[in-house]
Amino acid sequence: MSAALNEEFKLDREAILNDLLGLLPEAKKPLYDIELFTPETMRNIVAEIVREKCFENVHQEIPYQLAVRILKYDENAGPCPRITAEIVVAKENHKAIVIGKGGLVLKEIGTRARMAIEKLVGEKIFLQLHVSVSPDWMKNKKLMKEFGYKHDKKLG
C-alpha cells in the first residue's frame, strides 16, 4: 500500500470512528463495573481452560465431542483450593484417547490446565480430573445447558 493510500485510510478510519461516537447513547456511569475482568464465573473459566488443554493434547483425534464440567470448586480447602473436573466424551474409544497410555495424556492435560489456572488465580491449586462417557450428550438438552451450550433445535 502506498503512503498516500495509507494516509487516506487513516483519515477515513478516523472519520468513521468520530461518526460512530456521535451515534452512541450518553451514559451517566459505566454500564459495567470497570474492575470486572469478565462476566463469567471462575468455574466456567476453569472448565474452558481444561477443555482448551484437552484440545491441545488430543489434537484431531477427538472431533470436538468433548465437554468439561466442574464437579467441585472449593476455594477454602487447605492448603490450597481444590477443583474436581469431569471431562465428558461421547464414545468409549474417546475416553481411552483422552486418558492415553498409562494415563499420560490425562496427566499432561491436568498439568497444563493446572499451570494456566494457577497463573490466572495467582496461587497454587489442586486439580483432579476424571473422564466419563455420555453417549450422544450433544443431543441431550439438559446436558447441553449444563455444559453451557444453547441448543435451540428440536431433538428427534
pLDDT digits (tens, 9 = 90+) for 28-64: 887 777 777 777 788 889 999 999 999 999 877 776 7
Q: Which three cell numbers stand for residue 89?
A: 466424551
Residue 109 lies in a domain: yes
Reported as a single tens digit per residue, the pLDDT across 48-105 is 999 999 999 987 777 678 899 999 999 888 888 999 999 999 889 899 999 999 999 9
121: burial class by Cβ within 10 Å (0-12, 13-18, 19+)? middle
Q: Report the pLDDT value the prediction gives residue 101, as an integer from 0 to 100.
A: 92
CATH number at residue 67: 3.30.300.20
DSSP per residue, 88-119: EESSHHHHHHHH-GGGHHHHHHHHHHHHHHHH
Domain-embedded: residue 121: yes
Residue 98 lies in a domain: yes
Residue 128: domain span: 42-146
Which of these, 75, 71, 73, 68, lies nearest to 47 by C-alpha position? 68
Give a yes or no: residue 48 inside a domain.
yes
Domain count, the chain: 1
Is-above-0.85 flag for pTM? no
Within a domain: residue 10?
no
E-strand spans in 17-91? 66-74, 82-89
